[in-house]
Amino acid sequence: MNRELILLYWDIGRGIVEKQEVLGWGESVIDRLSGDLRQAFPETKGFSPRNLRDMKRLFSAYSNARIWRQPVAELPVMEMPASNRRQVVAKLKESEVIEKLRQLIAEIPWGHNLLILNKLSEPNKRLYYIYTSFRCGWTRSVLLNQIKADAYGRSLAEGKAHNFPVALPEHLAEQAEEALKSSYNLEFLGIGREIKELELENRLIEKLKGFILELGYGFCFVSRQHRLLAGNKEYLVDLLFYHRYLKCLVAIELKIGEFKPEFAGKMDFYLNVLNETERASDDNPSIGIILCAEKDDVVVEFALKSKTNPIGVAEYQLKPTLPKELKGKLPTAKELGEAIGLHAKRLGRSKKS
């Protein structure tokens, strides 16, 4: 039902735009059209003047193929490696590019579409949240939180630390790159103090749905403290997932401090054991993700340099951070304390006098 409704709204928006361009209709015609539609379809909601203007906005926003060809080619809208997508999209006619957009937009509810239209203006961002809302089944509140947390920015290649290009075939490395974020927003855990790694893991398991939503499309939970046997010893992987799209096991290690080189060696060992003992014959090589509070990209690069297994390192965020434009412009806790102390002294002197 949602799909047909959005496609209808698209067609109404297109009709309004075309009539205004060809016949010179003014904005007032939308009010008259709203009355006519509500009179013709009294039991159908959604034909208010405001909604009709939103339908026009929807069509206008997504009907220019020159704007949308590059985002469609760059983002995983089509289920194929990035290089193949670019080649395919480059050969599409303008009408075919718009039709792909139209079909994708119809996969998410009207409220989601309006939220994206109202909150975002850049084509790449809009397309990312449309596609990810559809693939991950985000509710409107989850979509809003993901926009606020800049899920798009954290999905970009910039800032990602991994060795996928040297550890995986080219097509799989591109897909793994798209699945990994540069950082993960764990504010939904509600942690405002220092905690131990086991407590962090417990919180993630308690709110597993939120964690899977943050990880992104395709992650399926397998187990926590997953036991691996090597020789006569037992080893534990913090969290083990299977990725449906990448068709591989994904081991996740949680670290409450900054990244250390030895973390990479430990993960490399885990992946060797997973590949040898649990990887299915038709699975791709297992991937490791090390989630830590901080990382130095240079240290990560040297730590992964000799590793043959694909490993990614990302930061996690437990508490909101200041917007970039405000960083350095607000006083630190120390400066604020000194200022309050100085004010108190002055106040004391004035009382004595």
Instruction: Report the run of H or E that residue 295 belongs to, with start and end.
Output: none
Phi, psi of 196 (to 5 degrees): -90, 160
Provide the residue type at 185 as one letter.
Answer: N
**Cα dihedral 127, 131, 137, 142 in deg (nearest 10):** -30
Weakly modelled stretches of the chain, pLDDT under 50: 322-323, 325-353
Specify the pLDDT at position 336.
40
pLDDT at 293: 85
Please give the pLDDT value at position 44: 74
- Burial of residue 153 (CB within 10 Å: 0-12, 13-18, 19+) is middle
State how far the Cα of 351 lies from the Cα of 120, in Å rounded to an integer.
54
Q: Quote the pLDDT of residue 320.
A: 54
CA distances (Å), origin 327, targets 35, 149, 330:
51, 17, 7
Ordered alpha helix ranges (H), the chain = 2-22, 28-40, 49-62, 65-74, 82-91, 94-105, 110-119, 123-136, 140-148, 151-155, 164-167, 170-179, 197-206, 208-215, 261-277, 297-304, 333-352
pLDDT at residue 343 in the model: 41
Q: How far apart are CA 351 and CA 42, in angstroms?
A: 74
